[in-house]
Amino acid sequence: MESTRTAVGIVGAGPAGLMLAHLLRLAGIETIILEARSREYCETRIRAGLMEQGSVDLMDEIGAAERLHREALVHGGIYIRFDGRSHHIDIKGLTSRSMFIYGQQEIVKDLIALQLAAGGEIRFDCSGVALEALDTDTPAIRYVDSAGNGVRITCDFVAGCDGFHGISRPSIPVNAIQTYDREYPFAWLGILSESPPIDPELIYVHHPDGFALFTMRSNTMSRLYLQVEVDEDIAKWSDDRIWSEFHHRLEGDETPPLIEGPILQKTILPMRSFMTAPMRFERLFLAGDAAHIVPPTGAKGMNLALADVAVLARAFETFYKSGSDEKLRGYSDTALRRSWAAARFSWWMTSLTHTFNDRLPFDNEVQLSELDYVTRSHAGAEMLAEQYVGLPIER
Ligand code: APR
Ligand code: PHB
């Protein structure tokens, strides 16, 4: 068995693990990232694509934003459509901040390339990753490398950035954490279409037959989502059926006609809210999807993952520079406060815009009234805009 050591062992090369490694590298703290999948898999996995200004600022801080600034589409507003009418929310005017469309896999590509160029270590294709001795001063990560050799890495700390299905959260004794779980009675069907966006802004649609969202990846690629049944069978959605449903839910007086294109990708996305508290067990710190997931409405998942590690990196930096573990002890409370705010917002955006079959007619009228309030009242729009654009990251 090969044996090695590092300061912070990071499990997972998603946005959280990669951003953490960069921030620590710039603070002079050594890391090794262990990733279960191949580099190619990580770089091509299609996920959300909407970045908060704060996330872009983090990419700038680590010097990874050059391509992002060249290619990202900058957005100053959104449309909310209901009752057959579109209402513009001027996010930039209300907050002086913007949103950026840039695919998560592009961020992952940029972060991996920069990390390897800077001499950082990412070990791909690790199997059997397991955490040991988390309640000692020398926690360790054990795994089998791509050649079949067993490796043990002793660390000062372990960062669990291995997503919702990783091994970090399950390595914590069940009585040491509390989890909060909420499933929604619907899913999203997402497509990537080779067709230009019909509008420069995103369009969120509340429709009696189900929510729809029009978004994009570039000037030639559209991304669209449809609310579908929770146990939907994708085989039942031919391209024709998908397009006809988008025409039905999206089109009307104020929306430009939909431009159909070849559908390059089709997936069903489950809708769930899940929170873990605290986000720490002894020497293991959870960040990103390993600790929490939010429904995709409002696209907070990746932004939340990046905010977590910004807080965590500052806590490690303080520890290594001054010996004070105060920020490490405060990590969970600080990160959870922002995470609950994002969890609440994602739940609220979902409740505001989706169609619930089990609701009373009264509830449906209240929902329409809330949509009316948010789109007509300055205070209502401001409340949405402040959270949509991203709450500040307190580090
Ligand atoms: N060992 C090593 N790596 C693992 C393991 C394991 N046992 N299990 C999972 N991983 C890897 C995954 O292959 C993935 O590359 O951990 C990484 C976790 O990355 P993400 O799932 O992208 O999670 P995170 O970095 O927290 O980013 C959150 O991802 O799911 C989206 O909407 C979410 O956009 C948000 C973002
Ligand atoms: C996306 O572009 O994938 C996206 C954008 C906004 C959302 C959700 C997803 O609210």
The per-residue pLDDT for range 104-134, each reduced to its tens digit, is 999 999 999 999 999 999 999 999 999 999 9
Same domain, 171 and 62: yes
Active site residue 206: no
Same domain, 66 and 127: yes
Active site residue 143: no
The token duo for 263 is 């559908």
Instruction: Given the residues 143, 204, 225, 331, select the one marked as catalytic.
Output: 204
Active site residue 41: no
Crossing angle for the helix pair 15-26 and 104-117, to the nearest 10 degrees: 30
- Is residue 104 in contact with ligand 2, taking CB distance under 6 Å? no
Same domain, 115 and 160: yes
Residue nearest to atom 36 of ligand 1 (CA): 302
Task: For residue 252, give the DSSP letter.
Answer: B
Same domain, 276 and 265: no
- Is residue 299 in contact with ligand 2, taking CB distance under 6 Å? yes
- Is residue 50 in contact with ligand 2, taking CB distance under 6 Å? yes
Same domain, 191 and 229: yes
Return the percentage of the chain with pLDDT > 90, whole number: 97
Distance (Å, whole) CA 107 – CA 234: 28
- Work out the pLDDT band at 255, boundaries 50, 70, 90: confident
Distance (Å, whole) CA 79 – CA 198: 13
The answer to the question of residue 121 being in a domain is yes
Q: How many angstroms separate the alpha carbon of residue 241 from the centre of ligand 1?
A: 32
Cα angle for residues 334, 336, 338 (degrees, 5° grid): 75
Burial of 253 (0-12, 13-18, 19+ CB in 10 A): exposed
- DSSP letter string, 270-293: EEEEEEEESSEETTEEE-GGGTEE
The answer to the question of residue 91 being in a domain is no
The whole-number pLDDT of residue 251 equals 87
The answer to the question of residue 189 being in a domain is yes
Quick check: 5 pLDDT over 90?
yes
Give backbone dihedrals phi and psi of 86, rounded to 5 degrees, phi first: -100, 140
Residue nearest to atom 26 of ligand 1 (CA): 288
Same domain, 258 and 384: yes
Same domain, 38 and 169: yes
Which ligand is nearest the CA of 289, by number? 1
Task: Decide the pairing of beta strands 292-293 and 178-193.
Answer: unpaired
Q: What is the mean pLDDT of residues 38-42?
A: 97
Quick check: 242 pLDDT over 90?
yes
Cα angle for residues 333, 100, 386 (degrees, 5° grid): 50
Same domain, 112 and 225: no
Report yes or no: 230 and 107 within 8 Å, Cβ to Cβ.
Answer: no
Quick check: 379 pLDDT over 90?
yes
The answer to the question of residue 82 being in a domain is no
Report yes or no: 158 and 134 within 8 Å, Cβ to Cβ.
Answer: yes
Measured over the CA atoms of residue 101, residue 103, residue 104 and residue 110, the dihedral's sign is: negative
- Tell me which amino acid residue 30 is: E
Range of the domain at 258: 184-270+355-389
CATH number of the domain where residue 202 is located: 3.30.9.10
Spell out which residues line ligand 1, taking CB within 6 angstroms: 11-17, 34-37, 42, 47-48, 104, 126, 129, 161-163, 166-167, 288-290, 301-302, 305
Quick check: 250 pLDDT over 90?
yes
The answer to the question of residue 58 being in a domain is yes
Report yes or no: 297 and 187 within 8 Å, Cβ to Cβ.
Answer: no
Q: What is the mean pLDDT of residues 219-224?
A: 96
Instruction: Given the residues 206, 292, 300, 327, select the one marked as catalytic.
Output: 300
Active site residue 373: no
Which ligand is nearest the CA of 190, by number? 2
The answer to the question of residue 84 being in a domain is no
Which ligand is nearest the CA of 40, by number? 1
pTM for the full predicted model: 0.97
Same domain, 286 and 158: yes
Q: Domain tally for the chain?
A: 2
Q: How many CB atoms lie within 10 A of CB 156?
A: 18
C-alpha closest to that of 115 among 169, 42, 44: 42
- Work out the pLDDT band at 306, boundaries 50, 70, 90: very high
Same domain, 63 and 43: yes
The answer to the question of residue 104 being in a domain is yes
Same domain, 196 and 277: no
The answer to the question of residue 395 being in a domain is no
**Phi-psi domain of 63 (left: phi exceeds 0; alpha: psi -120 through 50; beta: other):** left
Quick check: 154 pLDDT over 90?
yes
Q: How many angstroms separate the alpha carbon of residue 298 from the centre of ligand 2?
A: 6
Torsion of CA 287, 291, 297, 298, to 10 degrees: -30
The whole-number pLDDT of residue 48 equals 86
Q: How many angstroms separate the alpha carbon of residue 213 from the centre of ligand 2?
A: 8
Same domain, 207 and 327: no
Crossing angle for the helix pair 326-353 and 361-376, to the nearest 10 degrees: 110
CATH number of the domain where residue 160 is located: 3.50.50.60
Q: How many angstroms separate the alpha carbon of residue 191 from the centre of ligand 1?
A: 21
The whole-number pLDDT of residue 328 equals 98
Active site residue 296: yes
